[in-house]
Amino acid sequence: MKHVLLLLVICGTTPFLSGCWDRIEITDLAIVTAAAIDKKGNNQIELSVQVFIPSSISSGGGQGGSSQGGSGVTTMVRNEKGSNISDALSKLQSKLPRKVFWGHCKVFVFGEKLAKEGIQEQLDFLLRHPQPREKANVYVSKGEAKPILESLPPLENYSGEVLRELSDLHIGMLVTMQDLDEMLTGTPRAAALPIVKILPPAKGQTKLQGIPYIVGTAVFKKDKMTGTMTEKETRGLLWLRDEVESYTVTFQPKGVKGKISLSPVSAKVKIIPQIINDKWKLLVKISTDGAVIQNGTNLNLSNPKSLKAAERAYQKDIENRIRMAFLHIQHKKSDILGLGKDFYRKYPKQFNKVDNHWDEIFAEMEVEVDVVAHIRRQGYINKPAGLSENEVKDK
């Protein structure tokens, strides 16, 4: 009996021997919600972190009705220069009374200048450190990155959340840290990141109440940014990457006035690499269904003939988008689609021969776009609204 008790006491006290060595109370944490890295001067970077202020939304202790106490500022931004992130971070820590915690940082923004000079060195820290998540989204800012963090969005709690939500809408590219790492280490060694910019605040809002939004795509060759793509080109890129989600395609069918707007309901994208007679060629097969959102023409889309015409225009529009995007990245000589990988899988021998000058081959590659587009849904009404019977072209 005595021995059992002794054993129990020993077992019972062992957990306390560890002294709770890595125990950190949540009130001792500076929860980083977004981070920005800028280039400053010669060989110096500036690390800015957006830190959540818990007491800003604290309801405990306050009997007051509004939980959004005070000015509604839920985050603060602290920044520090250093030769690299870890150096800057250790300096930054001395300015923060709480321990920096990266576990919930879901947004990393690289400044444009830094992006142009290379992000590999900084990326190493983010991937090596156990706390930052691989699922965090990565962005490039137009100009400096710090103001992105400093903006105080009126709708979301903090600007990092704004960016994350915008990315989830799939309007621009959505690149996580893991994606970025895969793109950079993979065969084509090219990457694409969404570009963000501050939307100026609306009338009546304070100066800082602008929000960051996605304006296009930054094209990286190796780890250096070489150019940008506009929003429209980005849409084409999204088609090629099979990431199309809700957005609107507006086009004008041949021979009629006005425009039709469609929203793609489903899209299947197949990218088929081909080598025909030593000629490298890319076949893009797309089959998509669209739903009519607005019909500004006088076409009655319930009529098969008019529908065909509209579908043809829809197909053309998609094809144009894709061609435009593809030409653009060919021009940049950066295979951000990872086509090299696709070719390697299908033609490993041929690819190995051209591996070191793949960029040139990519730049001269022919692309064939094969779009099968249908309009399946027309909404609640068939005929264009607000037009009398004889105005509707009903052939």
Interface with another protein by CB under 8 A: which residues?
12, 15-16, 18, 20, 22-27, 29, 31, 33, 52, 54-61, 63, 101, 103-104, 106, 131, 133, 157
Residue of 275, 279, 281 lying closest to 348 (CA atoms)? 275
**CB 117 within 8 Å of CB 87:** no
CB 83 within 8 A of CB 65: no
Cα gap 254→263, rounded to integer Å? 19
Distances (CA, A) of 22 to 19, 104, 268: 9, 18, 48
Which sign, positive or negative, has the C-alpha torsion 330, 334, 335, 337? negative
CB of 103 to another protein, least distance (A): 3
Q: Which of 75, 67, 177 is nearest to 126 (CA)?
A: 177
Least Cα distance to 177 among 214, 217, 143, 128 occurs for 128
Radius of gyration of the chain (CA): 27
Strand, coil or helix: 393? strand
Termini Cα distance of the chain: 99
CA pair distance 357, 338, nearest whole angstrom: 15
Q: Are 321 and 240 in contact (CB under 8 A)?
A: no
Instruction: Provide the strand spans (E) within the chain.
Output: 29-40, 44-52, 75-82, 99-101, 107-110, 137-141, 190-199, 211-221, 224-229, 249-251, 260-276, 279-295, 366-377
AA letter at 184: L
Cβ of residue 160: shortest distance to another protein, in angstroms? 9
| Strand 107-110, strand 29-40: pairing | parallel
